Structure 1
């Protein structure tokens, strides 16, 4: 739901600058000092992957993102790694193609309709739901809004 809330400004930044960087907090319930303390514990012969899992519960997608987006030398410095875990930079360069989209933006502008959602240029033609230019969540909420505006 956070990405839905930020999708318009992210899309605008990509259109304006060619990319947008967001920062992911992989452990929102833990302050950076606690993360650093856990990472500073000796790991012995365990791999960094096992250490991240046992100390912080980082595995799966979070571990993959951390490996993909963090320089290798960061893994040998608990302070740098803790900062990366708390603010992992992810650069976005484009939106997904329409045929892969869960939802889309754009549509008939509200300025082109009257208060009853009738097109000013085509009297008797009304717009509803996904025809409207709005940022909306998918699933039941979108269906409810479609039916309500219809």
Structure 2
């Protein structure tokens, strides 16, 4: 049975939290399932799973909120990419029945949302001074 490389990402930080993924990389055979674990050093409301195919930009697979079913983006399914989110610091993405087309970088991200509040700073909420004009297009 042919083998291929499924690439994963290691450690990163977001909003001051450190996220780590295991395993860092995996060489596997067609048809098996691969589990990718993501752990944060603090509690975060949302976890996001992305993949990046060779030569392409990041694509969001799904958003996982603790205690709820993951919300999948178009083109991704729970059958192919089941996600568990047992608590606010941990999530697992499984890539089911892998094939060569699944060889990719897989990334987890995280964020915190407080519903009903605007989390921008007061400075960001202020309008720009009236004497500033909008940026001009470059002349040709």
Query: Which TM-score band applies after superposition, normalised by the shorter structure?
Result: under 0.3
Scaled by the length of structure 2, the TM-score of the pair is 0.25
Structure 1 length normalisation: TM-score? 0.24
